[in-house]
Structure formats: structure tokens, C-alpha cells
């Protein structure tokens, strides 16, 4: 019985520590998960998708150079994004307090999801940025329309031009 308990405990810890390693492909159903934002408030991804095309972007760590550039790109192009009906959810493995400080410091107009348990990253198949370093996910982005993934950026995800890249894809959606 002790061995079984040890194995189950190890399996549980492993599932919380490591994200998946195969991001969702175009055409896959978008995860209908609920997670907490920077204020600890529950955010239903399904409800967000229902409001229009949704960008779900994963970044490694709040308030770091590349992550700040990516978030600021979206913030600085917010008017254009919202004019196209785009919703944005930023996700990292940071705790809610770190997400709140990051959002407030850079006045991001969109929610930042505190995925400190790794459930959102696992649902989207976002791998760890560095294997074995929990909570720091690879920079990955998805566009969701009609409950399906319609675009993803899994390699060489942009930072400074992220909003322009997203807007270009949104222009091509019917």
C-alpha cells in the first residue's frame, strides 16, 4: 500500500510540474477551462471565446524583457485588436500577485491568467520552456474562433511584433 501511495503521489506531482509537449494543432477544440486571473477572479475561457476571436498567449515569466515586449505590443495595438473583435488572455505560470503587479506596471487592458498549477498550459499542450523548470512555459500563442484553434504560433513566437502578426491572421479569417 505504501508503494502504491508513493507512485500515485509521484504521478500527481509530475502532472503538476510538467506541461504537455505537443501544442494544440489548428482545427483542435479549444479547451473550455476556467482559471484565475491577476485578481484571483475565475475566468471562463469558454465565455471569453463566445465574445469573439480570442488570442490566448503563453509567456515564460511576468516582468521580463521579452514578455514585457510581447504584452506591450498587444497593449499598444489594443484599439486595433478590439476593433477586430479580438479578446486577449495572457497566461504564465506566475502567481496571481506577480500577474497583478505586471499588469498594473504596464497597464495591460487584458486579463493575465495565473497558471501556477499548470492546468491551462497542459490543456493547450504548451511545453515547458526549460524541461524540469516548472511553471515557465514556452512562448506560444493560439487564436480561437468558434471554439476551435484557427491559428497557432508555436515556434519563434514574436514579441515586439506580436500584435501585428495576430492582426494579419485575423484579417484573413472569414
| Cβ–Cβ under 8 Å, residues 36 and 43 | yes
Cell triple for 21: 509537449
How many CA within 13 A on the CB side of residue 11? Answer: 6
Cell triple for 51: 465574445
Cell triple for 116: 501556477
| Cβ–Cβ under 8 Å, residues 112 and 91 | yes
In three-state secondary structure terms, 58 is: strand
Cell triple for 73: 505590443
72 catalytic, yes or no? no
- Tell me the C-alpha distance between 13 and 112, whole Å: 25
Q: Which of 67, 114, 120, 121 is catalytic?
A: 67
Give the active site residues: 67
Amino acid at each position: 500500500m505504501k508503494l502504491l501511495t508513493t507512485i500515485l503521489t509521484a504521478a500527481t506531482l509530475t502532472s503538476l510540474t510538467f506541461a504537455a509537449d505537443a501544442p494544440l494543432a489548428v482545427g483542435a477544440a479549444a479547451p473550455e477551462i476556467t482559471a484565475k486571473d491577476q485578481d484571483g477572479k475565475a475566468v471562463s475561457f469558454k465565455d471569453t471565446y463566445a465574445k469573439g476571436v480570442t488570442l490566448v498567449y503563453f509567456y515564460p515569466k511576468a516582468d521580463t524583457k521579452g514578455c514585457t515586449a510581447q504584452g506591450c505590443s498587444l497593449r499598444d495595438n489594443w484599439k486595433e485588436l478590439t476593433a477586430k473583435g479580438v479578446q486577449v488572455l495572457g497566461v504564465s505560470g506566475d502567481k496571481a500577485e506577480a500577474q497583478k503587479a505586471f499588469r498594473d506596471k504596464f497597464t495591460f487592458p487584458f486579463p493575465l491568467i495565473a497558471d501556477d498549477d499548470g492546468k491551462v498550459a497542459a490543456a493547450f499542450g504548451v511545453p515547458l520552456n526549460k524541461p524540469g523548470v516548472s511553471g515557465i512555459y514556452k512562448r506560444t500563442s493560439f487564436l480561437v474562433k468558434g471554439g476551435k484553434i484557427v491559428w497557432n504560433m508555436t515556434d519563434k513566437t514574436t514579441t515586439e511584433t506580436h500584435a501585428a502578426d495576430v492582426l494579419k491572421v485575423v484579417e484573413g479569417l472569414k
